[in-house]
Amino acid sequence: MATELDALVVEKANKWLEGNYDEATKKQVKYLLENDKKELVDSFYKDLEFGTGGLRGIMGVGTNRMNIYTVGMATQGLANYLKKNFHDQEIKVAIAHDSRNNSRLFSEHVADIFASNGFRVYMFDSLRPTPELSFAIRQLECQSGVMVTASHNPKEYNGYKAYWEDGSQVTAPHDTNIIAEVAKITAIDQILTGKNKENITVLDGDFDDIYLNRIKELSLSPDAVAKNSDMKIVYTPIHGTGVILVPASLRKFGFKNISTVKEQNIIDGNFPTVASPNPEERATMKMAFDLGVKEKADIILATDPDGDRLGVAVPANKEKTEYVLLNGNQTCLLLTYYLCRRWSDLGRINGKQYIVKTIVTTEMLPRVAESFGVKYYDCLTGFKYIAEIIRNHEGTGWQYIGGGEESFGYLPEDFVRDKDGVSSCTMAAEAAAWAKSEGMSLFELLKEMYVKYGFYKEGLVSVVRKGKEGADEIKKMMSDFRATPPASICGSPVVTVKDYMSGEILDVVSGKKTALTIKEKSNVLQFLTEDGTIVSVRPSGTEPKIKFYFGVREPLASVDKYEEVNAQLDAKIEQMKKELGLI
Write the CATH number for 324: 3.40.120.10
CB distance 289 to 262 below 8 Å:
no
Q: Considering 203, 229, 251, which residue would you say is the last residue of a domain?
A: 203
- Listed in sequence order, the residues at least 6 apart from 578 whose beta carbon sits closer than 8 Å to its beta carbon are none
Query: Do 272 and 402 have their domain in common?
Result: yes
Instruction: Report in angstroms the alpha-carbon separations of 36 from 12, 467, 471.
Output: 15, 14, 19
Query: Do 349 and 469 have their domain in common?
Result: no
How many domains is the chain built from? Answer: 4
Instruction: Report in angstroms the alpha-carbon separations of 42 from 50, 62, 470, 536, 571.
Output: 17, 9, 10, 28, 39
Exposure string for 115-132, b = 16+ CB within 10 A, e = fewer:
bbbebbbbbbeebbbbbb
Three-point CA angle 282, 329, 250, nearest 5°: 70
Query: Do 219 and 126 have their domain in common?
Result: no
Query: Do 16 and 96 have their domain in common?
Result: no
d(CA 238, CA 496): 41
Q: What is the DSSP letter of 170?
A: P
Query: Do 90 and 18 have their domain in common?
Result: no
Please state the φ and ψ torsions of residue 400, each to the nearest 5 degrees.
-80, 130
Q: Considering 453, 484, 514, which residue would you say is the last residue of a domain?
A: 453
Query: Do 331 and 394 have their domain in common?
Result: yes
Nearest Cα residue to 220 out of 51, 140, 137, 338: 338
Per-residue pLDDT at 3: 72
Query: Do 431 and 459 have their domain in common?
Result: no
Taking every pair of C-alpha atoms in the chain, what is the biggest distance, in angstroms? 71
The three-state secondary structure class of 96 is: strand
Q: Where are the beta strands (DSSP E) in 175-271?
A: 200-203, 233-236, 258-260
| Mean pLDDT, 10 residues at a time, the chain of 583 residues | 76 92 96 94 85 78 95 94 96 98 98 98 98 98 97 92 96 86 89 97 98 98 98 98 98 98 98 96 97 98 97 96 97 98 98 98 98 97 94 97 97 98 98 97 98 97 87 92 95 97 96 95 96 94 85 97 98 95 86
Count other Cβ atoms within 10 Å, centred on residue 223.
10
Residue 489 belongs to domain with CATH number? 3.30.310
| Boundaries of domain holding 242 | 206-453
Query: Do 230 and 152 have their domain in common?
Result: no
- Listed in sequence order, the residues at least 6 apart from 88 whose beta carbon sits closer than 8 Å to its beta carbon are none
d(CA 261, CA 429): 17
Query: Do 77 and 189 have their domain in common?
Result: yes
Query: Do 157 and 196 have their domain in common?
Result: yes
Q: Considering 453, 472, 487, which residue would you say is the last residue of a domain?
A: 453
DSSP lists the bridge partners of residue 400 as 354
- Listed in sequence order, the residues at least 6 apart from 126 whose beta carbon sits closer than 8 Å to its beta carbon are none
The three-state secondary structure class of 172 is: coil
Dihedral of alpha carbons 91, 166, 128, 240, sign: negative
Dihedral of alpha carbons 464, 468, 473, 474, sign: positive
Query: Do 299 and 211 have their domain in common?
Result: yes
The three-state secondary structure class of 408 is: coil
Instruction: Report in angstroms the alpha-carbon separations of 450 from 224, 371, 432.
Output: 24, 13, 18
Per-residue pLDDT at 415: 98
d(CA 128, CA 122): 13
The three-state secondary structure class of 384 is: helix
Which of the residues are catalytic?
151
Per-residue pLDDT at 182: 85
H or E element in which residue 475 lies: helix 467-483
Query: Do 462 and 484 have their domain in common?
Result: yes
Nearest Cα residue to 199 out of 146, 123, 133, 134: 123
DSSP lists the bridge partners of residue 551 as 458, 534
Q: pTM for the full model?
A: 0.94
Question: Does 173 sit behind a cis peptide bond, omega within 30 degrees of 0 on the bond before it?
Answer: yes
First to last CA, the chain: 33
Exposure string for 52-81, b = 16+ CB within 10 A, e = fewer:
bbbbbbbbbbbbbbbbbbbbbbbbbbbbbb
